[in-house]
Structure 1
Amino acid sequence: MVTDSLASALSLARGGDLVGAKAMLGRIVAEPGADADGWTMLAGIEARLGDAAGEKAALSAALALSPRHLPALLARAASARRAGDDRTAVRFYRTAFNAAAHTPPHASLHPALEEAQRFTADASRRFAETMEATLTDAGLTAGNVPPRVGEAIELLLGRRELHVQQPSMFYYPGLAQRAFFERAEFDWAPRVEAATAAIRDELMALLADGEPFAPYVASTPDQPAPANHLLDDPAWGAVHLFEGGQPHPVHADQCPATMAALTQAPQPAIGTRSPMALFSRLRPGTHIRPHHGVFNTRLICHLPLIVPPGCGIRVGADTREWREGELLIFDDSFEHEAWNRGTSDRVVLLFEVWRPDIGEDERAAITALLGAVEAHGIVADDA
């Protein structure tokens, strides 16, 4: 049997008879049905005999039979390292990491994988240092390049994680992968920001009448509870101005300046989901864990009203702080999280708008499409 022959060849190799082991493995891999294990073992013998070309040929044969054969990938990377070809070694190691992620490796391979991780990290560091020197010589340094070029350089050097849109319910293709949008890009933004003082006054009037905030993430009778650590926790609170796609029967009338300001923004109107607007509060010590929004067809807008020190939000790879009266606009289909590490409440006016890169005809079609989805009882939570 082939298995028995491999064991015999291994026994010969362990006994020091490398020539005999090579001859036996040569016969094994010549048999019909030979697999990558035999070729990989043969490659190991060739390496011990000092035949680099023979080792490479055997590993090529193994990977032709099984492109994700983990021992062969690790051996091919090691042979490239011995030849001084670090770039090729890194490529094979990264392929090995992907293979190991899909199929848990045998414990005997763990030391080799750990060494591969160390080598790859060191190679990446050396690559980044070399590239940084080259880019400096070319004048491509921070502050001297357009923002997107700078972001691309950070990604290339491994100093920035790649984040992309991952909406939990509905993905619309072809949209720009941008986590944050600048307020200056929207002609309606100054009109909303101009109402900040009046909006804050209406918020303070609500607070003076009692405790208007309810948990942002709330359980619903007879429905599965959202998997959120702040479920039914008023630490992340909401005062809805639009709810179920309609003006709130109480709060909307109490906040006429706020409702008027919201008319300046291009809000979606989709069934019971949109418009959506609320005062959002984070109490001190509250952390909204990383999550994704349900759509990538909208942008979330925060008009900061009360912002103590120690508050921030991360969207994708970028972190920003709120500034009272200045809109913060982002795509919540990117992974995002927020926190209040201050000593008092943080409150923003939160609402959604259409993405500017979706035209009117597309908006009409998306509205009809998502309306049909909702009509069939398919819902998704934002939290």
Structure 2
Amino acid sequence: MNPRGRVLIVTNDFPPRPGGIQAFVHALAERRPPGSTVVYASRWPGWEEFDARRPYRVVRHPTSLMLPLPGVARRAAALVRREKCETVVFGAAAPLGLLAPAVRAAGARRVVMLTHGHEAAWAGTPLARGVLARIGAHADAITYLGEYTRERLARVVPPSRLVRLAPGVDTELFRPGAGGAGVRAELGIGGRPVVVCVSRLVARKGQDTLVRCWPAVLRAVPDAVLLLVGGGPSRRALTRLVAARGLGGSVVITGPVPWSSLPAYFDAGDVFAMPCRTRLRGLDVEGLGIVYLEASATGLPVVAGRSGGAPDAVREGETGLLVDGDRPEQVARALAVLLKDPDRAREMGARGRAWIEREWRWDLVAGRFSELLTGG
């Protein structure tokens, strides 16, 4: 292809570092035409092996965090010139979008900035709002995940530059029958009813609410199992909470699992639940919740918290149920309803799978991204 049509993606959020933003940016890069893309990313353990398997060039910053400082600006500008990149994409607008003037001066003709939950939070904070306004002033296009994030961003950045771009789902990987039987066998949970949560173990995601409500779920469905998949800073506290409540026989915390194994862990569940909640007066909020969409693609009904843009990933009453993640009793009722009515749960899961196939496939998202890069 014409080298002047190349794209530089500048991001702190890129595998092998785990996380939803990382998976989103990675998937966009993977679906670009061969030879069209260069990624400038921070380092993370395992980066050498990961980068060696990529069909495009990945340039790693010397450290695990890039900030909008002169050294990072110089490296990004040098890549624009050396790789003849016409378009620069910031994997997260805040804070690296502050580098936009530097990459424009180096020859970038178009600047696209992706936003997630934290930019929506910045829009509601006086000091951060000013920084976000500076970032948005230098963008040709600023993406948003859903109506929640669009409404908040539009208060700060030019609404005419806002374009919806939400993550897609790989429906070949996330599907019913993706290996859940093997996971159940390995964990020794057999055919018991399973509520699964696949997410980083942090306070916002609400795994503690699942543990707190679990005794009430067991009163309704005595043989149920809660499967918490993922690692994170809350793991030790969750383990203590499980022990304090005597739930060791019905709650399994797996710790981190390889990304390639995640579809099987989703498939091990009968219901997916992540009762996320907004924290720190709106600074810690769910931008969308790609795990809800991956669960729907796997044919599971979802129980989601009403935090930020999470409701955009659920069709209330059709593909799942929305709950207040700060109310364990409400979460317990929703889980018990679905576990005690497998037919209803399966119907919701089937509707969710059809919705994902219709509106959330990665080929559709990749097409929108390509149009966004060219301004089409």
TM range, smaller chain? under 0.3
The structure that has the greater radius of gyration is: 1
Please report the TM-score for the alignment, with normalisation by the length of structure 1. Answer: 0.25
